[in-house]
Structure 1
Amino acid sequence: MQPILKEIDSLKNKLRNLRPLNTAELQRLRDEFVIETTYNSNAIEGNTLTLRETALILQEGITIAEKPLRDHLDVIGFKDAFYYIIDLASHNAPLTEQTIKTIHSLVLMNDRENRGTYRNVPVRILGAKHTPPQPYLVQPSIEQLMQHYEKWKQTLHIIEAVALLHLEFESIHPFIDGNGRTGRLLLNFELIKNGLLPVDIKFTDRRKYYECFDAYHTHSKDPGELISLIAEYEKAELNHYIQIIK
């Protein structure tokens, strides 16, 4: 186990033993996080809204002039999907195919025809070191991934397991659009269920993030780079919460 994962376990226990935040404090922090992660996750996928514009849409319901309707819907859909995974995690709901499809349906609210539906056409990810499976292999690939993930959780640290889940999910690329946002939400869903904090992969780190996938497919499926990236984000979030409570 990487030293940082042991440090995260220690920080997780430290946070658990501190005075819990009251409902209003927790909601304020969560709302701030949702705005930032909505901005970053959508920006990684090409959304043109700024962080400030994202906040105005989510907090004030303001429409940003000259910005596409799709960009607005992406923001609202991602926010709804994030609160959906929070609710699921609070009930310790299992990760299932239906969960994945429901999250995707919220994320892709602007595309009624394709939301929550596996793709029916082959796809290529430009610049990627990997070609996703043919459409007829998508569902069995997802089913196999769910089985593998259950085994990974039994033998690996949860951050190692979710890193593999994310890398393999994006490799399958099960939907015609919205795979990245859905995959990052699934990652956070599993972190929250396991007593950790959600992480916000920054738009400014997108190159480093994409390089994690290239490294995985060129280095014999070694998830080390993504494990390190997620772990650094998790460590920062835990320290942030601990400092606030103190």
Structure 2
Amino acid sequence: MNLYEKIDLYKTAIDELHPFEGELLTQIRNYFRISLTWSSNALEGNTLTEIETKVLIEDGLTVGGKALREIFEALGHANAYDLMFTLLSRREITEADTLAMHRALYKDIDSKTAGRYRDRSAIITGSQYPVCKVSCLPDEMKNLFSWAVNERDHYRPVEFAAQLHKRLAFIHPFADGNGRLARLLMNAVLIQDGYMLAVIPPKLRREYVSLLEQAHRDDRPFVEFIAERVLESEREMMRLLHIPRPSAE
């Protein structure tokens, strides 16, 4: 049994006992809101702990000694996460959705660049590959979402999610927040297809960054890395819901 077959086997086991809708959907949304916000920000250098993120988002209590930007990053990500769940009513991700999600992420950090493509050149530290030129950004983004519409059903859902992440990251359309946004879009398409979220813990940052860089040449290891994160979320959900491992595994 390969990785993707195991993911679908676990998904079936979860869906049979607890369909991905109603109360379970609400619980999943609440459960991952803190962990995804904390982990995604931590991958980018935010020093808030998971507990501090929870206190800030759920209780509205600020954390002493933390930079205001880090607080706004957590609040902005939580807002973008909530917006992500409004996309469940349709099985698509549009350019307008992407701009709105970035605006939610960055409106309190930099209102001038929030929800707008960058207007200057960018270099990704540590990468040997150039990102999209400013003059090509509008066309590249339109091409990205045209690809998403036309090619989505040609991939397994988890593979498509990883591909969307990779392609947006390579374009690097915004002045800041590209990694966070790529992970949000990836998870948006996962939940649209009824899959668990892919949460990348900070301890795996080096592997994650390395595989994303390698994906310029060979993206299979990166796609499999994302698939492993989905499988791990399924295992966690099965543990929380007391669902036994499938006998066919």
Other-structure match for 1:162: 161
Q: 2:240 aligns with which of 222, 238, 244?
A: 244
| Alpha carbons 1:104, 1:178 under 8 Å: kept | yes
Deviation of 1:26 after TM superposition, in Å, equals 5.3
User: What's the counterpart of residue 97 of structure 1?
Assistant: 95
Is the alpha carbon distance of 1:22 and 1:227 closer, same or farther for their aligned partners in structure 2, counting shifts above 3 Å?
closer
User: Who is 2:139 aligned against?
Assistant: 140
The answer as to whether partners of 2:162 and 2:223 remain within 8 angstroms in 1 is yes
Per-residue deviation, 1:137: 0.5
Q: Is the 8 A contact 1:163 1:223 kept in 2?
A: no
CA deviations over 1:57-116 (Å, ceiling 9, x no partner) = 012111111211111111011011111111211x12521110000000011121100000
Q: Which amino acid aligns with 1:100?
A: T
Compared CA separation, residues 137 and 43, structure 1 to 2 (3 A) = same
Q: How many Å apart are 1:173 and its aligned residue?
A: 0.4
Q: CA deviation at 1:30?
A: 3.1
% identical equivalent positions: 28
Indicate how the Cα distance of structure 1 residues 39 and 151 shifts in structure 2: closer, same or farther if over 3 A, else same. same
Q: TM-score, normalised by structure 1?
A: 0.92
1:233 maps to which residue? 229
1:234 is aligned with what amino acid? V
Unmatched 5+ stretches in structure 2: 243-249
Residues 104, 182 of structure 1: 8 Å contact kept: yes
Alignment of 1:33-182 (within 5 A): 33-89=32-88, 91-92=89-90, 94-109=92-107, 110-182=109-181
- What is the CA distance between 1:154 and its match in structure 2? 2.2
What per-residue deviation string (whole Å, max 9, x for no partner) do you get for residues 188-233 of structure 1? Answer: 000000110112111111111101121112x2xx221121111111
1:200 corresponds in structure 2 to 199
> Which piece of structure 1 moves more, 22-31 or 198-207?
22-31
1:23 Cα shift?
Answer: 6.0
SS at match of 2:5: helix
1:19–1:159 CA distance, 2 compared to 1 (3 A)? closer
Q: Secondary structure at the match of 1:102?
A: helix
Q: How many residues align?
A: 241
- The question of whether the paired residues in 2 share the 8 Å contact of 1:18 and 1:245 is answered with no
Q: Which amino acid aligns with 1:171?
A: F
Residues 28, 147 of structure 1: alpha-carbon distance in 2 compared, 3 angstrom cutoff: closer
- Aligned partner of 1:237: which letter? S
Distance across 1 between alignment mates of 2:20 and 2:168: 34
Distance in 1 (CA, whole Å) between partners of 2:116 and 2:20 is 39
C-alpha distance in structure 1 between counterparts of 2:18 and 2:154, whole Å: 31
d(CA) in 2 for partners of 1:20, 1:93:
18
- Does the Cα contact within 8 Å between 2:55 and 2:61 map onto a contact in 1? yes
Is 2:222 the partner of 1:223?
no
Q: Give the secondary structure class of the aligned counterpart of 1:183.
A: helix
CA distance in 1, matches of 2:187, 2:206: 20
Structural RMSD (CA):
1.8
Shift of 1:11: 1.4
Letter in 1 for 2:123: R
Question: What is the CA–CA distance in structure 1 between the aligned matches of 2:179 and 2:20, rounded to whole Å?
Answer: 31
Equivalents in 1 of 2:26, 2:151: separation in Å?
32
